[in-house]
Amino acid sequence: MTSFFEKMRLKLKYGTPVILVSGLPRSGTSMAMKMLDAGGFSVIQDGVRTADEDNPKGYFEDERIKDLANMEDTSWFRDVRGRVIKVVSSLLQYLPPDNFYRVVFVRRNLHEVLASQQKMLDRREEANDTGDEAMLKMYEQHLEKVQFQLRFREYFDVLYLNYSDVLSEPRREAGRLNDFFGGSLDVDAMAAVVDPKLYRNRRVQG
């Protein structure tokens, strides 16, 4: 985590940070968005993708993000400074480098991610042509690359949340979020929106 003095230097260089929630699809990013929304942040969402059986609490997405890899003008990110926006992990590399980003990155057991994705595809009657072992390898390599970027690019400051930890210890993890953002968030409100009943596709260890 970036030191206080380093944060001050980066703020002077880049201005107020853009707050990102990121992770793999089906890793718990919508839950983290809902927590930050309840905690007191203004979140960016356009309402195009509405709540459904896969995400009954909503997706908290902005459709513009889907075009980030091919977007020529990303100056609108400056208008997002001080607010929260969700950016899937595969698109972090396309963020404009003239902002400072405080990133909440949600990690989840990859077997659970795959199970959740498969159930979503089944409900939509969509095929998955890639086997689980190949997907696991792909995700592992992708996460290694992303974590390298988050560590060594100076305009990123990151807090990692584990999905299972948030579901089992919501107040503790809400407290970690509050500490990461300087202690101004409503910890009780963030913890209250976590719904353990939504922990589906749980992988049993043993």
Task: Domain count for the chain, please give it.
Answer: 1
Q: What would the pLDDT profile of 61-105 be if each residue is shown by its tens digit? A: 899 999 999 999 999 999 999 999 999 999 999 999 999 999 999
Q: In this structure, is residue 19 part of a structural domain?
A: yes
Q: Is residue 204 part of a domain?
A: no
In a domain, 199, yes or no: no
Q: Is residue 202 part of a domain?
A: no
CATH classification of the domain holding 67: 3.40.50.300
pTM over cut 0.85: yes
**20-52 residues labelled b (16+ CB within 10 A) or e (exposed):** bbbbbebbbbbbbbbbbbbbebebbbeeeeeee
**Does any domain span residue 206?**
no
Has residue 201 been placed in a domain? no
Domain assignment present for residue 205? The answer is no
Confidence of residue 12 (pLDDT cuts 50, 70, 90): confident
90 within a domain of the structure (yes/no):
yes
Structural domain boundaries enclosing 79 = 4-192
Where does the pLDDT of residue 185 fall: very low under 50, low under 70, confident under 90, or very high at 90 and above? very high
